[in-house]
A and B are shown apart, each in its own frame.
Chain A
């Protein structure tokens, strides 16, 4: 019985530590994941949202992508159909980043209304599983 009690104490210690690590991990690294519309609502009601990093899931507007290879800067408009923001990203874009692709950008919305992204992910949803062409 004593060994069992000791194991339970040890187990509780492990679980407690993990619980703490998970809670602090979420607190420190958790990031809001918003659509442009939600982001607009958030900053509208609470200006401190300009200072926190957020993830924004949106779609790259067709024809808006502008790449400057020399400075490795990419600008484009990201939209969810209602609200849209111009995005500025410095770095290499993934191969799948192209017109009308779903993107997830992580960064900060600037008070001037541009979204400065530090990471840019492009989904390859329509790639692995091609959507059949609708010929009507």
Chain B
């Protein structure tokens, strides 16, 4: 099977090369036979990459340890679930997955759009083919997953225990889907620029693709946070590590695009900017891979340093030159059709939204690259840590949160005083009441008060839209309120899905603001001894060490420490944190011990208990106990955000919105329909 996989890769490379030439020739000459050839080549490449992936999967599942990749990441006693995830545990398998995903999305884009955009599709096929050529060439020339060893080990080295976690099974593929699916919008941007078909057609074609990428990336990031939180045991979920930043950067530029594209659709402005954002998002996703694989930036998460990073650098530079070169070439064709008329308008709110998102991206990029920049300029490496990122991004993020409330409700072109009063009197009231209430209970962190006040502002703007929209449908169509609500969302998926996404964002901000009240306690306890930990809400956790037990379980030897916990005098349960020593098939220890954290969570806060070790083999245990307020809101905020994204993404049955309905949209659905 691995020979078959290897051959499939080589054939895929040749066919993709053919498609990358014939696609562009077909676009230029408009020859339908060549177009069909390019299209079928992409489908064929997809089929071949499926075969190659099946080959690797077969090698993994049959424990063919003669294959270097299989020996490096699996072992006989690895549960099947994780043997499956070993497919992308390493770089070689990841590259294969990437190539497979690019060709899958590319094929789907060709199938969905070929009738609607005949002038664009040959170039799209050609661009997708070039991207696939890059991934497959990197594999066959530098990092082949089917490489064999000169001997067959009796067992593999096994999978890092930290990756043996359900979060790690879903987090990487989600991120990869997000990273790679941005190839489709990028290919459309290149096609639009080359062909000169720069009307809004290509924008309609890619809006949903970008939203899909964004959705995958969002889920990937939140799952990554969850994995770091439950598995790594340091008590947090985001550390501004270069690897995390690398996934955050394209997310920011995609978010900016999803907003600014509305300005172009409605008002014909920001055309150059939007193409720039798509090209930038694609480049940042490649860049993320480059910095994590090349070892130019040191990261706690760092992956193997290999020459693959340099392949990515070359590809990054080429893509940047082509993308921005084409943009410069078509610059005169991308003039705005309208001008900004007032600072108090939706256009202005969206412009500031874009400005802030890009500035955040820039500051994160700058902080991430600062060791390289400072070494180049001053000769010494200087690193910046979380305090830098927080200092810059907290005020920016809060400004963005304010715009989240303003942008969707303020009128296009120029907002009247009546519009402002109608839309914002209740939200502003909610904001002031929240701030005053938090001041009264003496919340100690000023930024947090601002965050919660702005959160209340946004929630009320969104609630107001739902209430008014539902009420209008109720009055106009005589629908019962629940039906009116469902139809309201169903008929305006993009708008109300967007509002749901905004609610998710507010939940995330609420959770981040809660971090200001986090506390850590380290304590050594003998069995029966206890410690009191104060929660920021005022009550006390009484934690009693029960003792330590040791046993073998699955593929590991476990040392578990248990505590009984009462909160404000009420027993809430026994929590058990484990040190796990993983064993290979011969029962010998392999990898360093890993920690399983005990977490008790509810809406208000998480109690996070880590067993750090036993004192000299006795039952005296060292614990780190963290109180993490509002962590729950990160996971459920992520879920709400994903649901909102899905609502927006869900295809509408009736096709494009008729013009008459579109008119009704500005400045709140109800402003025109109701009243």
B380 touches A30 (CB 8 A): no
CB of B287 within 8 Å of the partner chain: no
B595 touches A95 (CB 8 A): yes
Least distance between A60 CB and chain B CB atoms (Å): 12
Chain B residues, Cβ within 8 Å of A55: 383
Least distance between B511 CB and chain A CB atoms (Å): 23
CB of B484 within 8 Å of the partner chain: no
B301 touches A22 (CB 8 A): no
Interface of A is mostly: mixed
Size of A's binding interface in residues, CB under 8 A: 52
Chain B residues, Cβ within 8 Å of A128: 89-90, 160, 163, 301-304
Closest Cβ neighbor of A15 among chain B residues? B359
CA distance A97 to B396 in the complex (A): 36
Chain B residues, Cβ within 8 Å of A131: 304
CA distance A15 to B298 in the complex (A): 28
A91 touches B522 (CB 8 A): yes
Q: How many A-B residue pairs have CB under 8 A?
A: 160
CB of A110 within 8 Å of the partner chain: no
Least distance between B371 CB and chain A CB atoms (Å): 6
Which residues of B51-104 are within 8 A (CB) of A?
A: 68, 71-73, 89-91
A124 touches B356 (CB 8 A): no
CA distance A92 to B12 in the complex (A): 50
- Identify the stretch in B310-318, B335-343, B554-562, B600-608 within 8 Å (CB) of chain A at 4 or more residues: B335-343
CB of A82 within 8 Å of the partner chain: no
CA distance A19 to B229 in the complex (A): 32
Chain A residues, Cβ within 8 Å of B374: 30
CA distance A124 to B624 in the complex (A): 22
Chain B residues, Cβ within 8 Å of A18: 359, 363, 392, 396
Which interface residue of A15, A29, A57, A67 has the most chain B CB atoms within 10 A?
Answer: A29
Least distance between B522 CB and chain A CB atoms (Å): 7
B615 partner, pick from A10, A57, A70, A91, beta carbons under 8 A: A70
Q: Contacts A1-B339, A69-B614, A128-B163 given: A14-B356 contact, CB under 8 Å?
A: yes
Least distance between B155 CB and chain A CB atoms (Å): 12
B304 partner, pick from A33, A34, A96, A129, beta carbons under 8 A: A129
CA distance A10 to B234 in the complex (A): 40
Contact residues of B with A, CB < 8 Å?
Answer: 68, 71-73, 89-91, 149-151, 153, 157, 160, 162-163, 232-234, 298-305, 339-343, 345, 348, 351-352, 355-356, 359, 363, 366-367, 370-371, 374, 380-385, 387-388, 391-392, 395-396, 399, 522, 524, 591-595, 610, 612-616, 620, 622, 624
Contact residues of A with B, CB < 8 Å?
Answer: 1, 3-4, 6-7, 10-11, 14-15, 17-18, 21-22, 24-26, 28-34, 38, 55, 57, 67, 69-70, 72, 91-92, 94-98, 104, 121-133, 135
